[in-house]
Amino acid sequence: MNMLKIENLHATVADKPILKGLSLTIDAGEIHAIMGPNGAGKSTLSYVLGGRPGYEVTEGSVTFTPSRHAGLDPASIRSSARDVRAEWTPDQVRGDDGGEAIDLLALDPHERAAAGLFLGFQYPVEIPGVSNVQFLRESLNAQRKARGQEPLSGGDFLKLAREKAGLLGLDMDMLKRPVNVGFSGGEKKRNEMVQMGILDPTLAILDETDSGLDIDALRIVGEGINAIMRKPDKAVLLITHYQRLLDYVQPDFVHVLAAGRIVKSGGPELARELEEHGYAEVVA
């Protein structure tokens, strides 16, 4: 089933064209890696998919079809979205499991999150004055509300938080501190993966989650991503500069993004080829 189908996406930032006809299809159960030179548009792609203000789509479409097993209440999320089922390609119809097909670009950022999209950022923000526990509980309950579900009780939430923090080797004391304030690079990324575990997304887009991680943190984060997201009804888009994260989170497909488009796609071997020979040679 095509969980994410990006077709001919064009986007501008401050009137400057950055994405120039990007197409990419991700099926449920798959992990895709996007690599590419600095300034290629990798972060722009994640912001556009997340609906960040200032990133304007000028052409193309993005369809998001969370599995029906994601247990969403479609009516609560679909209100502002157009059902694009009528426009499906034969490929999409064949793999259909009855999940909602959503025009992702018609949704507000919080609706995209409620529909099951999670964005991990290259530079996680610090929020002084708000504890991690508060922040995580509020993000989860906002998502539950948008799905028409009751908020989780304090006790149930703490149980969930403890379980996910344990998975990422983060101590509960870290969760009581203000969000990311004074956290090391590795702690911020592990913290973000705890958030991902709690929100339990259908599709995670992780932008340079490996940046600033030492070898041990890299392994913990990699194993966390696998534990949370390596499932038949989930998918991951990993944006990374380096092959090393891919030793832990093994991608099914690797793509090269250059000058706003996917210019080459392959299997895991493509990442090693890029690492060895550089983008210029592999893409030429």
Sites of contact with ligand ADP (CB under 6 A): 13-14, 16, 18, 36, 38-44
Options 12, 43, 65, 240; binder of Mg ion; rule CB under 5 A: 43
CB of 258 to ligand ADP, least distance (A): 9
- Residue closer to Mg ion (CB basis): 136 or 205: 205
Distance CA 1, CA 11 (A): 26
- Residue closer to ligand ADP (CB basis): 16 or 129: 16
CB of 36 to Mg ion, least distance (A): 9
Distance CA 53, CA 47 (A): 9
How many CB atoms sit inside 10 A of residue 156's CB?
10
262 binds, among ligand ADP, Mg ion, none (CB under 5 to 8 A by kind): none
CB 260 within 8 A of CB 21: yes
- Per CB under 5 A, the segment of 37-45, 57-65, 173-181, 243-251 that binds Mg ion is 37-45
CB of 82 to Mg ion, least distance (A): 30
- Residue closer to ligand ADP (CB basis): 22 or 31: 22
Distance CA 230, CA 161 (A): 20
CB of 208 to Mg ion, least distance (A): 6
Instruction: Extract the tokens encoding 279.
Output: 């983008």
41 binds, among Mg ion, ligand ADP, none (CB under 5 to 8 A by kind): ligand ADP
- Residue closer to ligand ADP (CB basis): 66 or 120: 120
Options 38, 125, 155, 173; binder of Mg ion; rule CB under 5 A: 38
> What letters, b where the CB count within 10 A reaches 16 and e where it falls short, cover 77-114?
bbeebeebeeebeeebeeeeeebbbbbbbbbeeebbbb
Residue type, 194: V
Cite the beta strand spans of the chain per DSSP E: 2-13, 16-27, 31-35, 55-64, 102-103, 117-120, 127-131, 178-179, 203-207, 235-239, 253-258, 261-266
Which chain residues interact with Mg ion by CB under 5 A?
38, 42-43
